[in-house]
Amino acid sequence: MRRILRINGDIPLMGSVAFGLIDRGTNLIQVRPSSSCPLSCIFCSTDAGPKSRTRRTEFLVDLNYIISWFERLVESKGISDIEAHIDTVGDPFLYPKIVDLVKRLRDIPEVKVISAQTHGPLLTQKLIGELEGRIDRINLSIDSLEEGKAKYLAGSDWFRIDKVIEAAKRVAQSSIDLLIAPIWVPGLNDEDIPKIIEFALSIGAGKIWPALGIQKYEAYRGGRKPKGVKPISWGEFYRKLAELEREFGVKLILSPDDFGIRKVKPVDPRLRKGEILNVKVLGEGWKVGEVLAVARNRVVTVLDSPPVPPGSLIKVRVIRDRDNIYYARFTGGV
Ligand code: SF4
């Protein structure tokens, strides 16, 4: 059984990819209130879902707590055109207070756009109704319109693509913008991509933003890799997108400009790559072999640590500091 760590204080909400907030130096803030996913997609970059072999902790963040961190982050960025993008390392619609989260983000004057990313298994007609008028855009990943293949790609026999198709149509008819964002897994859904483009155009996706955001499959360390699938190069990927653009007369090669995303100074880093420091252990980390620790009001994921009780101070060397996401390696001293 995977444990669920409920976070309602004490643990900082910056520093981890698995929960909290991520500021990558633009006007978009990634909001990650939970980490769980009901699907087990065979290409999942974060090894999410019931079939995960590497996850041992899932996170659930208290609504008031994440909003208070979000407000402070917005204040420190000092801009008034923020996009709050609820993306998570799982499915954001599994967050029990997702509608309240969207409502609370909407109340923040600096937030101009709220968007969320999902494969849609939990996107019911009722939920879409509750989100209408509150959320601006849903990025919906549909990787195949065919029942059998959709189940196979989602790694889940119970997954019903027909329900997701109905949800997509409902979203497209609502005031919520719809972006269809398939993951193109070479050799597995090549022939599905043109059909998905036709589908997105036929239902009226992309009222404000682009209708499609085709994503390239990448074999990430720690992610799931379908047997026999080799990622194509970026050059090949863009060449194929350009061909499809010509065939369907739709924009498929996207840039941050298409979403109004611009560079903005990120919050100052608290830890620096190469730095050696003591961190306080909180407990087991997100994945096997990781320990969750904290230093200078940031979460640090520590690799190669021996088992140490929560509350211990251990010495680590910071090995990653990009985007205020911190990884460190145990250096031996406890
Ligand atoms: S790809 Fe997305 S929906 Fe699929 S298992 Fe991973 S997090 Fe879940």
Residue 7 is encoded by which pair of tokens?
């976070």
Strand ranges (E), the chain: 3-7, 20-23, 28-32, 57-61, 82-86, 111-118, 137-140, 177-180, 183-184, 215-216, 276-284, 290-295, 298-303, 313-320, 327-330
Tell me what pLDDT residue 332 has: 77
Residue 119 Cβ < 6 Å to ligand 1:
yes
Q: Whose Cα sits closest to atom 1 in ligand 1?
A: 44
* CA 153 / ligand 1 centre spacing (Å): 10
Domains in the chain: boundaries: 3-259, 276-333
Tell me what pLDDT residue 333 has: 66
Residue 312 Cβ < 6 Å to ligand 1:
no
* CA 158 / ligand 1 centre spacing (Å): 14
Tell me what pLDDT residue 10 has: 86
Tell me what pLDDT residue 14 has: 98
Which residues does the chain have with pLDDT short of 50? none
Residue 48 Cβ < 6 Å to ligand 1:
yes
Residue 203 Cβ < 6 Å to ligand 1:
no
The hierarchical CATH code for the domain 3-259 is 3.20.20.70
132-178, pLDDT tens digit by residue?
Answer: 999 999 999 999 999 999 999 999 999 999 999 999 999 999 999 99
Tell me what pLDDT residue 1 has: 73
Q: Which atom of ligand 1 is nearest to the CA of 39?
A: 5
CB 116 within 8 A of CB 87: yes
Q: Cα(187)–Cα(329) distance, rounded to whole angstroms? A: 37
End-to-end CA distance of the chain: 29
Q: Whose Cα sits closest to atom 6 in ligand 1?
A: 44
Residue 192 is encoded by which pair of tokens?
């599905």
Same fold, 3-259 and 276-333: no
33-45, pLDDT tens digit by residue?
Answer: 999 999 999 999 9
CB 212 within 8 A of CB 200: yes
Q: Cα(246)–Cα(253) distance, rounded to whole angstroms? A: 11
Tell me what pLDDT residue 334 has: 63
Q: Which atom of ligand 1 is nearest to the CA of 88?
A: 7
The hierarchical CATH code for the domain 276-333 is 2.40.50.140
* CA 225 / ligand 1 centre spacing (Å): 13
